[in-house]
Structure 1
Amino acid sequence: MFLLKKLLTTLILPPAGPILLAFLGLWLMRSQSRRWRNGGLWLAILSLAGLLLLSMPIVGKALMAPLEQYPPISAAQLQRAQAIVILGGGSYFAPEYGGDTVGSATLERLRYGARLARQSRLPLLVTGGAPTGGRPEGELMRDTLEQDFGVKVRWVETASRDTTENASLSAPLLKAAGISRIALVSNGWHLPRAIPLFAKQGLEVTPAPMAFISGESSLPTALLPGGLGASREALHEYLGQLYNRIKEAK
């Protein structure tokens, strides 16, 4: 089920989704029916135009803006928490490190989590498994925090495959230590989906967002196609929120 969900997500989101629709449009243009040919032409044009728009920074920032709804955590909010939880954001095989290591998104989260831990002296939990094989991300996160940032990690969760399991598998570790209030570290666009999942486990969650993307854009660079990263992440979060609502409604 997990792999099927990942496959469907990949096929729906850009760039694969719009490109597949464009190919469908081109295939429909071979029809004997003029109506189907015209429909196929418009489908191909709109799909490719949509892909171009999604690659513009101004569109990516606009999609991100509703997701980045939480401000940076304050000192008072941080002191109210009993622990800091850092969510994994991906890993990869790096021969220069002799094996798997954390990806750029995870590294950003770890850097900010280490900063908060030094400020507050709160214990740290890191969470992330190995859904596609290799070393669990939680272990890689712990190694990075302790070896590169000099910050000790108290709990390591290594079996989760997604954000839902990050929450359901981390909560027992925290509750066993009497922890009920956490500061949750992740990208600002990820927290609107992650917070309810941790709250559902009976935890009081204070958002600790980082790496904000939305904001003012400088023209004309904001209109120049420069990649699908922001748009894809935003659409992924909207899709994830929709999936969680449908699952809860059943």
Structure 2
Amino acid sequence: LWFWVVIWLGVFMSPLSTLLVYNLERTHLPISQDVPDTCAKIVVLGSGGTPESHLPPVQQLDEAALHRVLEGIRIWKTNPDRFLVLSSKGREGYPSQASMYSQVALELGVPEHKILLMEEGYTTETEVQDFIALFPKEKEIILVTSASHMPRAIALFAAYGVDAYPAPTHYTVKIHPGGNRLNFTPSFSALEKWNILVHEYVGRLWVKIRFEVPPLWPLNFSEGFGLEEDQSTVKQR
């Protein structure tokens, strides 16, 4: 009985899952401004959304998707000569995720001729394959996806010969400069964090087995959760 009580508390209490997600999301920092101008495409990976026509485009995207497309637009505005490449298909017969992204981008000022769509990918690997099929000569991109997803996405692009400058977004765990208070109250938000962790760790194990690449899952607890972040220990390309 006590074994299951401990398991239940570990799953539904947030400190451990929060620490692990924080570590996972800090594999890469938000993109810096030193990306070479020769890197012409900003690739925004798909997440999710619902093409409910009476809602404005920005309201049709789920949380992760909205963070991704907004970050892609923000980066594009720093160099409007680049192209915004929007990815992911939707249900058969309905608007693709990429087209939903494009409606948001158009509303926020990105001209149509600067938007390119990839509408065949439905997993991270098929999105990479879609990119290779459409842009076979491109070997260097700016890659936008959720911070927790970024290491796996970079590994997959690298496996297909594309070098990606990471532009992570949608950081779900943030550190207040004054330190965070650990919450030991059981909650379903902790379960959602475990879902993120399992999904990414299993996904990266699959990438390692399939492509024989490093799993990219460092666990660095030396910083101490709840303290001001030590930038020297966080990786940045």
State the TM bucket, normalised to the shorter chain: 0.7 to 0.9
1:131 positional shift:
5.5
Which amino acid in the other structure matches residue 103 of structure 1?
A: D
Q: Distance in 2 between matches of 1:238 and 1:150?
A: 37
Q: Distance in 2 between matches of 1:169 and 1:66?
A: 30
1:164 positional shift:
0.7
* Structure 2 equivalent of residue 247 of structure 1: 210
* Structure 1 equivalent of residue 153 of structure 2: 194
Which amino acid in the other structure matches residue 65 of structure 1?
A: Y
Residues 136-161 of structure 1: CA deviation (Å, up to 9, x unaligned)? 21111112211x21213432111111
1:188 positional shift:
1.2
**1:159 alignment partner, SS class:** coil
Q: Distance in 1 between matches of 2:211 and 2:32?
A: 32
Which amino acid in the other structure matches residue 43 of structure 2?
A: V
Q: Distance in 1 between matches of 2:30 and 2:197?
A: 19
Residues 21-44 of structure 1: CA deviation (Å, up to 9, x unaligned)? xxxxxxxxxxxxxxxxxxxx4664
Q: Distance in 2 between matches of 1:247 and 1:84?
A: 26
Q: How many residues align?
A: 202
Greater C-alpha Rg? 1
1:199 positional shift:
1.6
Query: Is 2:2 aligned against 1:45?
Result: no
Which amino acid in the other structure matches residue 71 of structure 2?
A: Y
Task: State TM-score, norm by structure 2.
Answer: 0.74
* Structure 2 equivalent of residue 90 of structure 1: 48
1:218 positional shift:
2.1
Residues 204-233 of structure 1: CA deviation (Å, up to 9, x unaligned)? 21001112234436225x333341333321
Which amino acid in the other structure matches residue 149 of structure 2?
A: H
1:47 positional shift:
4.1
Residues 41-70 of structure 1: CA deviation (Å, up to 9, x unaligned)? 4664344233323xx1x3332111332211
* Runs (5+) with no aligned partner, structure 2: 213-237
Contact 1:182 1:206 in 2 (8 A): yes
**2:23 alignment partner, SS class:** coil
* Structure 2 equivalent of residue 219 of structure 1: 181
Return structure 1 stretches of 4+ with deviation > 6 angstroms: none
From 61, 83, 98, give the equivalent of 1:138.
98
Q: Distance in 1 between matches of 2:36 and 2:193?
A: 28
* Structure 1 equivalent of residue 142 of structure 2: 183
**1:97 alignment partner, SS class:** coil
Q: Percent of aligned pairs with the same residue?
A: 24
Q: Distance in 2 between matches of 1:154 and 1:93?
A: 19
Query: Is 2:200 aligned against 1:237?
Result: yes
Residues 168-188 of structure 1: CA deviation (Å, up to 9, x unaligned)? 11122223xx43210000111
Contact 1:123 1:154 in 2 (8 A): yes
- CA 235–133 in structure 1, closer or farther in 2 if over 3 Å, else same: farther
1:193 positional shift:
0.3
Q: CA RMSD in A?
A: 2.6
Which structure dedicates a bigger proportion of its chain to helix?
1
Contact 2:51 2:95 in 1 (8 A): no
* Runs (5+) with no aligned partner, structure 1: 1-40
